[in-house]
Chains A and B, each alone.
Chain A
Amino acid sequence: MGPTDDGQTIARCLAGDREAFEMIVNKYQSGVLTLAWSVLGNRAEAEDAAQEAFIRAYVNLQNFDRAKDFKNWLYAIVHKRCLDRIRKLKTEKKYRSRMAEAAAPVMSGFKTEPGADESAVLSPLLKKLTVKERLAASLSMNEGYTAAEIAGILHCAESTARVHLFNAKRKLRKGLERNPHVQNL
């Protein structure tokens, strides 16, 4: 399916065919979830963000410039939703006490309930990256995006996106070298 197919689907949606949007959702869901998860690191949050992003996309479909790529537009929405959520989580975290030794992240050693989905949580390796680095790496690896395309999603300069991607790769390499057993996760 190419951009022209998206164009036709979008036209149908704008004409009032709500059910046509289902094709868009099914087509891009996997990519949207991957992106949201790489930013938020939490399955439930990622699913929420994905839903919200699709809803926003639908509601604002008339603002979408059909000459541009729909996927990029959608991913930019996802990115924004995720950032909003992170901001909200940060303010909620603000007033808590901390031990001087609480340098170790809570997730290390924290046991989830038996049977819980381990892969629903970001591995320690990915947690070492910043949000932008994770995003850049995810887009590059999963979507094959170039630095210029990543810049379009992140709303930054191409050089900035390139640096994020490079730093991500460096950190990942270091992480793998230090903890070869992490590959078995």
Chain B
Amino acid sequence: MCKIYKILYAAIPLKKWKSALIRRHFERCPRCAEEFNYKDHVVRAFFKPEWIQGASSVWPQVRAQIILRKNEPEALRPAISPPRLRLPIRALAAAISAFFILGTIGFFLLRPHGRKLSGPESSLSTKPAAAVPRVQVISVELGGKRAKAYIYQTPTASFIWIAPSQETGGLR
């Protein structure tokens, strides 16, 4: 019989109904009650670790912070939020989800093609893909001194050889 209740408990989706089941059977049936208070003393030990017993008072730290914060004009949120306004929940939910859906559609339709750029990068990405350089060297230093960059591109990669300014081409 208890097994049927257990199966029922697993099958029921709503917490309210599960709660009713607990009150009607699991808390009343002596066998089930014993089962769920199994090794209660052992379980309790897990929830009360030793270090808490021996922990020193946190008052000094709390006191220090209270003094510190009192000197700061900090606006803290209330610890428990004030009573909420009574809003039409359904209407609000519908409005919010509509906003999200429209927002997503709008985002994909209207999203800008790149952010505002400045400097050397401004020539990038406003042009069609074909004209965008695959790589650009903004600056290069070798051993702390300005150096030269020699770019060689293949379909698979861009190779940049960096040589000291005095030299003429280095490896290439």
Which residues of A are at the interface with B, using a C-beta cutoff of 8 A? 18-19, 21-22, 25-26, 29-30, 33-34, 37-38, 43, 47, 50-51, 54-60, 63, 73, 76-77, 80, 117, 119-120, 123, 125-126, 137-138, 141-142, 147, 157-160, 162-163, 166, 169-170, 172-173, 176-177, 183, 185
B138 proximal to A (CB < 8 A): no
Which of B44, B50, B65 is in CB contact (< 8 Å) with A51? Answer: B65
A160 CB contacts on chain B under 8 angstroms:
15, 19
How distant is A17 from chain B, measured CB to nearest CB, in Å?
A: 12
Place the interface of chain B in its size category.
35 or more
Closest CB-CB distance, B7 to chain A, in whole Å? 14
Which residue of the partner chain, among B19, B35, B36, B61, contacts A158 with CB atoms under 8 Å?
B19
Question: Which residues of the partner chain A approach B18 to less than 8 Å between Cβ atoms?
Answer: 159, 163, 166
**Number of A-B contacts defined by CB within 8 Å:** 131
Please give, as numbers and ranges, the residues of chain A lying within 8 Å of B22 by CB-CB distance.
162-163, 166
The reply to whether B57 and A162 form a contact with Cβ atoms under 8 Å apart is: no
The interface of chain B, by Cβ under 8 A from chain A, is: 15-16, 18-20, 22-23, 26, 35-40, 42-44, 46-53, 55, 57-59, 61-63, 65-67, 69, 76, 78-80
**Given A25-B57, A163-B19, A176-B38, A56 and B43 contact (CB-CB distance below 8 Å):** no
- Is B42's CB under 8 angstroms from A183's CB? yes
Q: Which residues does chain A contribute within 8 Å of B20, judged by CB atoms?
A: 159
Q: Which of A33, A34, A38, A55 has the most CB of B within 10 A?
A: A55
Return 29 A-B CB contacts under 8 Å, by A number. Answer: A19-B63, A25-B58, A33-B55, A34-B48, A34-B49, A37-B49, A47-B55, A47-B58, A51-B62, A54-B58, A54-B62, A60-B79, A73-B79, A123-B46, A125-B46, A141-B40, A141-B44, A141-B47, A141-B48, A142-B44, A159-B16, A159-B18, A159-B20, A160-B15, A162-B23, A163-B15, A163-B19, A176-B38, A177-B38
